[in-house]
Structure 1
């Protein structure tokens, strides 16, 4: 999420949300976008159309964006507004969302820069047309915590037998944790392999840590995105449910989304 390297110098800058092949201006009506008072609109370049908005230049400099990055509430507001515009544009057809904070000094500069990237935009629009992104997360129960009475070290007066028993218990707990972890990874791989067979493309994303999710009783072992045609969406949901029943783990499916995860591919 970095601003365009050319900082705007005029009163307004041109913020670019996305690029589409087919865009009905009516779908953008009523959107606030990133700056109230400036309409969200289409900007044609060649056979494609960018979804843009004028924004106050002094409020959208690189320095201003750095401040937003440190303000979680403001950054979330911008991200939600950006996503709302992209989603609305995608209702008209395949859409390439651009990164948050894609800015140019004006419409002419935006049109020129985007036109130079027309081949990539066209190829991406061809690839995602008729598809949507679906997210799948697999969660497994966290390993059972070690009980204090099990973990307690034996008294020295207990003799060698007690010491050996303690070590055996420790070894058993370690092996159980390792088995639990290995099984979780196998399930993640199996689920991913099954869903990839239904998708045109797939991406493995970094699983969210417990610190990010706030989850204490389960661990995320798969965080993936799948590019799926409309006719295979039901198959993907059914496959996820089958794996949930077969393994007993939580398989969360979300979508359909604009294919954010697949617009940067060659």
Structure 2
């Protein structure tokens, strides 16, 4: 590809900051545009940003708001950004930067990022040779038949059957409370187990059901910073936790440590 010469109409898109004695080899992903190559921007001793020249008009507030409303287009940009971050992280310790981190020109990018060099070095020291792993835990909801059997049917009956009605209503409430309590207990067991292996962890709000007919409840949504040489141990632990708790324990990763580079 012919070298792209930045023009006044260009902006500098920054993907990540990495620690490398030599600028990383950037062959592979093309980034968010195929009009210019990825390149290294030296920030100081052993600190390099991975950047790309993009058309400034493609990243105005109006253009970005339109992109946010276009799910396929937004996904394309997010995937392109993530591919670059992963390619760099596979070669050297890396701090991923948020989607659409831009500067007006290279000089401003270098000056702004260099001011953050202490923070970048601390984050790189903390996350070097680690990956981020996601753990989601689901418990199966009570079968619809059991709920229907426990639920009061129709309007409240007369005095003669009032006790039976209240008993069934109380039974349904108790079942729901036991289910909630069991879910909390399982989440704590899984979190404690994985946290004992991880260097750091972060719990996120559980997601609701993805589809109305989904018959499971998410009780844990967390992410963990795990040393690269403990990945196999993590997989074994996840299987052990599935067997111990009877819950669905979903493991995803490894990822660049997006969730942990700000904790320095």
Q: TM-score normalised to the size of structure 2? A: 0.90
Q: Structure 1, unaligned stretches of length 5 or more?
A: 1-8
* Residue aligned with 2:243, SS: helix
Query: Could you tell me which residue of structure 2 aligns to residue 56 of structure 1?
Result: 55
Does residue 1:179 correspond to 2:209, yes or no? no
Q: 1:113 to 1:185 in 2, by over 3 A?
A: same
More displaced stretch, 228-237 vs 165-174: 228-237
Q: 1:19 to 1:167 in 2, by over 3 A?
A: same
Query: Could you tell me which residue of structure 2 aligns to residue 151 of structure 1?
Result: 152
Q: Distance in 2 between matches of 1:207 and 1:250?
A: 14
User: Which ranges of 4 or more aligned residues in structure 1 deviate by more than 4 Å?
Assistant: 212-215
Query: Could you tell me which residue of structure 2 aligns to residue 242 of structure 1?
Result: 240
More displaced stretch, 136-145 vs 180-189: 136-145
* Residue aligned with 2:263, SS: coil
Query: Could you tell me which residue of structure 1 aligns to residue 203 of structure 2?
Result: 204
Q: How far apart are 1:213 and its partner, in Å?
A: 6.2
Q: Distance in 1 between matches of 2:129 and 2:230?
A: 11
Residues 101-139 of structure 1: CA deviation (Å, up to 9, x unaligned) = 100011111011110100000000000001111111100
Q: Which of the numbers 15, 18, 36 marks the counterpart of 2:16?
A: 18
**Residue correspondences, number:** 254
Q: 1:16 to 1:199 in 2, by over 3 A?
A: same
* Residue aligned with 1:102, SS: strand
Does residue 1:84 correspond to 2:83, yes or no? yes
* Residue aligned with 2:35, SS: coil
Residues 160-196 of structure 1: CA deviation (Å, up to 9, x unaligned) = 3422112101110110010001110111011101111
Q: 1:213 to 1:18 in 2, by over 3 A?
A: farther
Q: 1:55 to 1:102 in 2, by over 3 A?
A: same
Q: Distance in 2 between matches of 1:176 and 1:224?
A: 26
Q: Are the equivalent residues in 2 in contact too, given 1:24–1:92 (CA < 8 A)?
A: no
Q: Are the equivalent residues in 1 in contact too, given 2:24–2:91 (CA < 8 A)?
A: no
Q: Are the equivalent residues in 1 in contact too, given 2:140–2:217 (CA < 8 A)?
A: yes
Q: Are the equivalent residues in 1 in contact too, given 2:15–2:101 (CA < 8 A)?
A: yes
* Residue aligned with 1:209, SS: coil
Query: Could you tell me which residue of structure 2 aligns to residue 5 of structure 1?
Result: none
Which aligned pairs between 1:40-119 and structure 2 lie closer than 5 A? 40-47=38-45, 48-119=47-118
* Residue aligned with 2:131, SS: strand
